[in-house]
A and B are shown apart, each in its own frame.
Chain A
Amino acid sequence: MEKTLFEKIWDKHVVKQIEDGPSVVYIDKHFIHEVTSPQAFSGIEKRGIQLFRPKQIVATADHNVPTMQQELPIKDALSKFQVDTLIENCKKHGVELYGLGHKYQGIVHVIGPELGITQPGMTIVCGDSHTSTHGAFGSIAFGIGTSEVEMVFAAQCIMQTKPKVMRINIDGALKNGVVSKDIILYIIAQISASGATGYFVEYAGSAIRALSMEARMTICNMSIEMGARGGMIAPDQTTFDYIKGRLFAPQAADWDHKLAEWSQLYTDADAKFDVEINIKAEDIDPMITYGTNPGMGLSVRGTLPTIESFTDATEKQNYEKALAYMGLTAGQSLLGMPVQNVFIGSCTNSRIEDFRLVASIIKGKQKDPNIKTLVVPGSQEVAKQIKAEGLDKIFAAAGVEIRQAGCSACLGMNEDKIPAGEYCISTSNRNFEGRQGAGARTLLASPLTAAAALLTGKITDIRDILN
């Protein structure tokens, strides 16, 4: 039978199909971090059982960690306790930990791919909704809750109902100044923050094939922002070239064997999707969000919807609520509006290519004096590479400080927060109320659009700088 990429991997991992119930799915790799794992460890201990396959788990500390002076003890007592609990749990249960101070530490969805742990054909879970990032390698990867983390600890399996499958084809060439972040913001704006709920999404088409692995990760990362269970892209030469030679990549004969296996990971020509969406790459402009969910996005040159365009009373009321929170007016344009903060980082856009993109724009220039910045690499390895390429000097010359690796202002669990009422152009993934700090107003955009705002102090079409 003709199968989709998703079905090929899913079917291979189903241990048992419960009648009129979920499937029991085997998990190849399990990433954990300090925030969603402690209750799962105590659950296991309460049951008096051992971790079933501790060698298939990799841990890091990312959500809570400070991004300055990481060599010093964490100041926030609760954060420190949570990070210490992770250290203790990993030691007790034999789990590999790339914790604070370790050369491989970083955001869980940055380090997995970077170390070659993430590979095609795998099932990957983590107690974090942005686990969908790993789908860029042609794996089934998705976020789970803490009860499910405990399930994987106990039996290396979870219970899941098989999702429906959706394919989004993006064909053609991207316009100048448009990058993968704009593609995914465009898709979410088209289908809404709940448009893919219940589905696993495969991204395909010539515009996707032309992207680097890091750009593909940005797209898969935000699949959850339209409600999708996960997102994935069939592996190809770009994927194999990225993985080859990485720390945990298959070596020698094993590599050839794996490569043969991975080359079979594609959607068969006649396989059926429950939904298929076609997008022309040339329709996509640099994007920015204006509201309080990632579906509320538009071209940086666009205008906000009018109140009259909403017919449903609840939807209208929700739009007005979002406008009030954001301090914006229906029908207005965002171009030229002053912003006070720029955040470059998060599991969406904190990889070396993101830093190269920003550096290419700010090189030899000064940041706007009114802009406050939080620029945070995704991992120690990314930070090292920034230095190796001399990008740190470009940022320093522009008056921008580069911090240490962590989730930072994406969710403001550490000190890195945006002040109430201020705007922040953010390369992260969520513009929810209070996400970056109580009262903070988040505008999601690409690293290029963030770089443009760094220089001008306002919402700017990057093409005005490029041209």
Chain B
Amino acid sequence: MQSLQKITSRFIPLRIENVDTDQIIPARFLKATTKDGFGKNLFRDWRYENDDETKPKADFVLNQQQYSGAILVAAKNFGCGSSREHAAWSIQDYGFKVVVSSFFADIFKNNALNNGVLPVTVSDAFLQQIFAQGAEETLSVDLEAQTITIDATGAEERFDINAYKKTCILNGYDDIDYLLNMKPEIEAFEKK
């Protein structure tokens, strides 16, 4: 897993609530047997007219030249619906390292964390402040300090993450290494 400590980047504002994982990556793209290459189909049906890559929808934010960056900012209840980890893989493969929202669906949040994509939950008010920024402004996320800052205004908010997951992401560790080291305890538990 890739590690992540600090990032300063422009952001892509997605002012849509209840973004479900079927929109992030439609089911027809789940037929792959590897984790690679999902980024080109991220938000596929919002990005293109009739599934045609030569016809990008001008009103969709990923197609708007002025927006760029490794941070995706979305309205509340991001990642609801299906448990497909392909959603996290497609967000990562597209180039996002951080997703900011005022509310995340549980399974998506776990899937993101398990891939080193950092979900940052902010207050509704802070989210609105981010949305009010221009395309050229940047956000800074510092995982060690657990803060997100709007660089233009200096507005800062602290976000929650449990100490275990924080260590994992800061260092690029994954849960399986941890569990493999626990084998004797798990075997003892099974005998109880």
Contacts and interface: CB of A to CB of B under 8 A. Distances in A.
A20 B175 contact: no
Contacts, number: 180
Interface of B: 15-18, 20, 22-23, 26-28, 30-35, 45, 50-51, 75-77, 80-85, 88, 103, 105-107, 110-111, 114-115, 162-165, 174-176, 178-180, 182-183, 185-186, 189-190
B82 A129 contact: yes
A293 B77 CA distance: 11
A124 B69 CA distance: 39
Interface centre among B18, B50, B111 (most CB of A within 10 A): B18
A64 B85 contact: no
B88 A154 contact: no
Interface centre among A39, A43, A82, A85 (most CB of B within 10 A): A39
B186 A144 contact: no
Contacts of A20: 162-164
A155 B164 contact: no
A293 B80 contact: yes
Nearest to B163: A20
B164 A21 contact: yes
Given A156-B186, A194-B18, A18 B164 contact: yes
A444 to B, nearest CB: 13
A152 B110 CA distance: 15
Interface stretch (A331-339, A427-435, A450-458): A427-435
A6 to B, nearest CB: 15
Given A39-B33, A42-B34, A317 B164 contact: no
B187 to A, nearest CB: 9
Contacts of B30: 35-36, 63, 413
A16 B34 contact: no
Contacts of B77: 193-194, 197, 227
A82 B32 CA distance: 7
Given A38-B34, A155-B186, A434-B22, 13 more contacts: A16-B185, A19-B163, A21-B165, A81-B31, A85-B33, A129-B81, A144-B107, A157-B186, A194-B18, A411-B82, A412-B27, A412-B28, A432-B81
Interface centre among B20, B27, B163, B185 (most CB of A within 10 A): B27
B140 to A, nearest CB: 25
B151 to A, nearest CB: 24
A413 B165 CA distance: 34
Contact of B22 (A144, A295, A435): A435
19 contacts: A20-B163, A21-B164, A36-B83, A42-B33, A52-B186, A81-B33, A144-B107, A145-B85, A145-B107, A155-B179, A155-B186, A159-B178, A193-B80, A194-B80, A293-B18, A433-B22, A434-B23, A434-B26, A438-B26
Nearest to B1: A147
A434 B45 contact: yes
Pairs A-B, 9 closest by C-beta atoms: A21-B164, A145-B85, A147-B114, A155-B179, A145-B111, A78-B31, A38-B33, A143-B83, A20-B163
Interface of A: 15-16, 18-22, 24, 26, 35-36, 38-39, 42-43, 47, 49, 52, 63-64, 76, 78-79, 81-82, 85, 127-129, 143-148, 150-151, 154-159, 161, 163, 193-194, 197-198, 224, 227, 229, 293, 295, 314-315, 317-318, 321, 411-413, 430, 432-435, 438
Contact of A39 (B35, B81, B164): B35
B176 A433 contact: no
Given A64-B31, A194-B18, A22 B84 contact: no
A81 B114 CA distance: 26
A216 B179 CA distance: 34
A190 B100 CA distance: 27
Contact of B20 (A22, A26, A293): A293
B85 A129 contact: no
Given A36-B83, A154-B179, A413-B31, A148 B162 contact: no
Contacts of A229: 106
A198 B163 CA distance: 19
Nearest to A229: B106
A26 B179 CA distance: 11
Contacts of A198: 106
A151 B176 contact: yes
A163 B106 CA distance: 10
Given A154-B180, A432-B23, A433-B23, A147 B18 contact: no
